[in-house]
Structure 1
Amino acid sequence: MPPSRRKTSSSESVRDEPLAAIVPYVPSAGDSGVVIDLEGSLVEGSGGGENLPALDRMGQTARVASATFERDGYKHLIKAAEAVYSYPANGSRLSLPAQKMLNFMIHLAGSQNFANKLYRLPKKVVRGNHKGNERIFDAVKEIYESSLVVIGPFRGRRSRAELRILSSYVRPEDEVEIDSTDIHFQFTDAFLELQRSSQLWARLSGPAMVKVTSTYALKLYEIGMQRYQMDHPSLTLDIETLRKLLNVPEGAYKDFGILRTRTIDRAMAEVNQLAPFRVEMPEEKMKRKGRKIEEVTLDFHAKDEDEAADTFLERERSSTGRKTRREAGEGTKPALAAAPRSLPEPAPPLPDADDAEALWAAARHALSQKQVPGPLLRDLSVIGIEETARGTRKLVLRAGHAATAETARRSHEATMRTVLSSLTSGSISEVEFQAARQGR
C-alpha cells in the first residue's frame, strides 16, 4: 500500500516548508511496491525502485517522445498508453490542473528518453492553466502525494500495480513573489520504467488539451487520442473501471443513469467539440443484467473533412460561450463566418499539425464555394504552418504534380490567401505551394 498522505487544501499556507525544500519519497513500513519490467510484467518487492532491471533497450514510446519533443516542443505531448489507462489509487483523484501539468511533465521527461534525473519545466508552459505561482506548486504537490494504479500481466495473471509518480520536487519559500522560478521535479524509477518500456502511446495536442475544462473530458480525450486511428478503435469497459478511468469521485453517481448524464455525456460532448475524433457510447452495445448496465462500449471515429473544419473553427473561437454553444448543439457546427475577427495579444503560438490539417479542411470547404476546381484542391496536402521572414505566417501545401502547384500559384493564390486570412483572423495570410518530387 502507498504511504499515508495528508490532504492539503489550496488555501493552506506554504510557509511551513523550508527554503527550496526538496521533498523525497521514503517508503513507509509495509510499502512493498511494484515496478514494471521491460516485458510489461510486474516485479514485486521493489520498494523505491532500486531493483529495477538493467536498461539494455527502450520501447517505441520513448523514441517517439524524444523525436516529437525535438520537432514540436510542447505542441504535441506523448504519453504511454499504460499511463493513459491508469487511475489514482485509494479512491483519490487528481484535479484538472494537476492532470494537465502531469502530461507536460511526462512529455518533458520523454525528451530525455525518460532518464532518471531532476527535470526543469518552464512555468510559461503551464501558465495558461495556473494564474498564480502558489497554484502551480499546489498542483505539483498534489501529483507528488498521489499514486497511480496500473493494470497488467504478472506471471500469467492480471495484476494491479500501484506506482508513486514523483520521488521529489522543489518548492521555493518565496514562490508567490518570484515569477522566474521554474518547476523542478524528479519521477520515481518505477514510473519512468513504465514510460520507458512502453510500446504504445497517445499523441496529445497541447493546444487542444489545455482547452478541456473537466477531468472527465480530459481522460476521455487521452483515451480517444490513443485509440481513434487504430484498426479497431472501440473500447469495452465495465462500469467500475470506467468510473476509475474517468476520475469519478469514489461513491459519487452510483446510479448509471446519473453517472451518464453528470459525467459521461458531458465529457463526450466537450471532447466531440474539440478533438479530431468523435466518441459515442451506443445503446445497442451496452451489456445488461436485468435492468442494470454492466458494460459499455466507447467507439472512437476520426472526423470527416467537414467535421474537422468545424472543430478548427471552434478552437479559434473565444472560450467564452463555448459551453453554451455545446449545450445548444452548436459547438461542433459553427458557421464559417463565425471565426473571431481580432487576434489576442500576444499572438498565439503556431498551430499544431492537427490544427493545420483542420485549417486546410476548412479552407477547402470555403474554396469549393468560390469555384476553385475540386481536383486541384484534392491534389494539395498539408506540409505545415511556418513563420516567414517578415514575421507573418504561411500555410505550406504539397502538390501531387508540378502542374497543380503552378496552376494554384498563378490562378488561385489570391483567393486562398483571402480565405486563410478570414478563417484565422489574419493570423495566417500567405500560402506556399511545393511540388512533390517525381520518380522517388
Structure 2
Amino acid sequence: MPPSRRKNAAPEQGPAASASPMGKMGTIVPYVPGAGDTGVVIELDGSLVDEEKTDNLPALDRMGHTARVAAATFERDGYKHLIKAAEAVYSYPANGSRLSLPAQKMLNFMIHLAGSQNFANKLYRLPKKVVRGNHKGNERIFDALKEIYESSLVVIGPFRGRRSRAELRILSSYVRPEDEVEIDSADIHFQFTDAFLELQRSSQLWARLSGPAMVKVTSTYALKLYEIGMQRYQMDHPSLTLDIETLRKLLNVPEGAYKDFGILRTRTIDRAMVEVNQLAPFRVEMPEDKMKRRGRKIEEVTLDFHAKEEEEAAETFLERERNSAGRKTRRETGGTKAPAAIAQTRSLPEPPPPLPDADDAEALWAAARHALGQKQVPGPLLRDLSVVGIEETARGSRRLVLRAGHAATAETARRSHEATIRVVLSSLTSGTIAEVEFQSTRIGR
C-alpha cells in the first residue's frame, strides 16, 4: 500500500470530548446479524487485489493512524473537519441497497464522533443541530438513522491481519424517542457494532472531509466521489482505475439502473464530477484516453484527482461560503459572473436544482407523512401511498408522484387531501415541489 503524502500525519493523541450519558430514552433497537456478501476488493492504490496473494500482510494495529488523527482533529476542529477511514470510504451498501444522501452525511458525522473517543465501543450522543443544518424538523433525522441501522456495508481492506472483504452491520442499536417530532432536545443516541469499530481503529489511511463542503453536496453520487477524492488527491499516485461494475457500486448507483455506460456517465458520473470540482480542493477528471475498451464497450475507467492551484482553491472556498441559490448556474457558466452580468440577470428566476434522487424522494415523502399526520390526514390513506418519483411538469414546475395501492385511495386523496399535501410539500422544499399526482395500480385509472 503506497504511503500518503498527507500533511496531517498522525499527531499525538490529545484529550477528546466525552459523549454525554443518556437521559430519558425511547425504544432501543437491537442488533440483528445480516447475510454475507461477496463484495469487491480494491487496493487503496487503485489496483484490484489478487486474493491468492495474501502473505506478508500487516498485522492488525489496534490503534491505527486514523484513530489518532480522528481524536486530535475532533479536539481541534470539532465537526469542521471529519475523519473517515479509507476502508469506509471505499465501502458500499450490501445486497444492492442504497443509503440516502441525508443518511450518508449523518453517518460521516457519527463516525467522526466515535473517532473522538478512539472508536471506543460505547453509546454515543450526537447533537441534532450538527446534522440538521437549516432544516427545523426532526422527521428526516430519525428516518435517516433507521436507514443506517437497517444497512450493512461491504468493506474492503485489512481485517484481523488479512486482506479481506466483509459485510458489516453498522449499528448495534439506536434510540428513537416516541415524541421525536415535538421534542427538539432529544439528541441522536447510537452504538456501532464491534466489527465496524474494529475496522476504524485498525485503519492506517483516512480521508479528511470538510464538514461545510460535505453538507453542501446535493447528490449521493457526488458525495461518494468527493470522499474518494479527499482520500486520494494528496497521495503519490492519486489516480484510481476501476471496472464499471465496481464504479457503479462505489457511487451507490441503483442496481439495474443506467446499464448503458453512456447514460451512466451523463446521468451520474459527469454531473457528480462537475459538482465536486466546484466544491472540493481538487479537480477530478475521467480522461477518454485512459478508458479501456473491448470493441465499443467501455470496461474500465480511470479517475484522476489533482490538487487545485492556489487561485482556484481560493475561489472554491468562496463558492462554499456563498448562498446555494444559483450554484448550479455558476457551475454551468464556469464560475462567478462579472458584476454587469449579474445586474442583467438579477431579475431572472434561478433555474431549478437537479431532480432529486429516488432515495431523496422517499425521504421527502417520509417527512411529509409525519407532517400530514399532524393535520388529520388518515394514517391508513398515507400508508397506502408509495413514492414513484419526482418529475417536471409541462409548466416547468415539479411534482411528487405517488402510487396508491387501491383506486379508492387515489380518488380520496385527490378529492379530499390534495390541497393539504401540496402545502406540506411546498413547505418542506421551500416551494421547489408544490404539486402532487396520485396514480392507481389499476390500469386505466
TM-score of the aligned structures, taking structure 2 as reference length: 0.64
**Per the alignment, do residues 130 and 243 of structure 1 end up closer, same or farther by CA in structure 2, a change over 3 Å counting?**
farther
Q: Contact conserved, 1:97 with 1:129, CA < 8 A, in 2?
A: no
Superposition deviation, residue 158 in structure 1: 6.6
Q: Contact conserved, 2:61 with 2:202, CA < 8 A, in 1?
A: no
Q: Contact conserved, 2:114 with 2:124, CA < 8 A, in 1?
A: yes
Superposition deviation, residue 159 in structure 1: 4.7
Asked if 1:256 is matched to 2:261, the reply is: yes
Letter in 2 for 1:180: S
RMSD of equivalent CA atoms: 2.8
Q: Contact conserved, 1:313 with 1:336, CA < 8 A, in 2?
A: no
Which residue number in structure 1 is paired with residue 137 of structure 2?
Answer: 132
- What aligned pairs does 1:353-372 form with structure 2 within 5 A after superposition? none
Superposition deviation, residue 132 in structure 1: 1.6
Letter in 1 for 2:189: H
Number of aligned residues? 301
Q: Distance in 1 between matches of 2:207 and 2:339?
A: 30
Letter in 1 for 2:102: P
Which residue number in structure 2 is paired with residue 14 of structure 1?
Answer: none
Greater relative CO, 1 or 2 (CA 8 Å, sep 6+)? 2
Q: Distance in 2 between matches of 1:188 and 1:150?
A: 14
Q: Contact conserved, 1:310 with 1:334, CA < 8 A, in 2?
A: no
Asked if 1:329 is matched to 2:324, the reply is: no
**Per the alignment, do residues 130 and 147 of structure 1 end up closer, same or farther by CA in structure 2, a change over 3 Å counting?**
farther
Q: Distance in 1 between matches of 2:161 and 2:113?
A: 33
Superposition deviation, residue 33 in structure 1: 9.3
Q: Contact conserved, 1:97 with 1:130, CA < 8 A, in 2?
A: no
Superposition deviation, residue 308 in structure 1: 1.0
Deviations 1:262-307 (A, max 9, x none): 0000000000000000000000000001110000000000000121
**Per the alignment, do residues 297 and 116 of structure 1 end up closer, same or farther by CA in structure 2, a change over 3 Å counting?**
same
- Identity score, percent: 90
TM-score of the aligned structures, taking structure 1 as reference length: 0.64
Which residue number in structure 1 is paired with residue 169 of structure 2?
Answer: 164
Superposition deviation, residue 120 in structure 1: 0.1
Superposition deviation, residue 313 in structure 1: 2.1
Q: Contact conserved, 1:118 with 1:185, CA < 8 A, in 2?
A: yes
Letter in 1 for 2:333: G
Letter in 1 for 2:31: Y
**Per the alignment, do residues 324 and 63 of structure 1 end up closer, same or farther by CA in structure 2, a change over 3 Å counting?**
same
Letter in 2 for 1:293: I
Structure 1 gap segments, 5+ residues each:
1-17, 35-39, 42-53, 340-440
Q: Contact conserved, 2:36 with 2:167, CA < 8 A, in 1?
A: no
Q: Distance in 2 between matches of 1:108 and 1:154?
A: 22
Asked if 1:25 is matched to 2:31, the reply is: yes
Q: Distance in 2 between matches of 1:251 and 1:325?
A: 32
**Per the alignment, do residues 72 and 191 of structure 1 end up closer, same or farther by CA in structure 2, a change over 3 Å counting?**
same
Q: Contact conserved, 2:159 with 2:199, CA < 8 A, in 1?
A: no
Provide the secondary structure at the position in 2 that maps to 1:210. helix
Superposition deviation, residue 335 in structure 1: 5.2
Q: Distance in 2 between matches of 1:168 and 1:108?
A: 16
Choose the corresponding residue for 1:280, options 285, 288, 292.
Answer: 285
Q: Contact conserved, 1:100 with 1:209, CA < 8 A, in 2?
A: yes
Letter in 1 for 2:238: P
Deviations 1:27-67 (A, max 9, x none): 37xx5799xxxxx99xxxxxxxxxxxx99841000000000
Letter in 2 for 1:27: P
Deviations 1:211-266 (A, max 9, x none): 00000000000000000011110000000000000010000000000000000000
Superposition deviation, residue 152 in structure 1: 3.7
**Per the alignment, do residues 279 and 125 of structure 1 end up closer, same or farther by CA in structure 2, a change over 3 Å counting?**
same
Superposition deviation, residue 87 in structure 1: 0.1
Q: Contact conserved, 2:284 with 2:303, CA < 8 A, in 1?
A: yes
Which residue number in structure 1 is paired with residue 394 of structure 2?
Answer: none
Superposition deviation, residue 123 in structure 1: 0.6
Which residue number in structure 2 is paired with residue 37 of structure 1?
Answer: none
Asked if 1:117 is matched to 2:119, the reply is: no
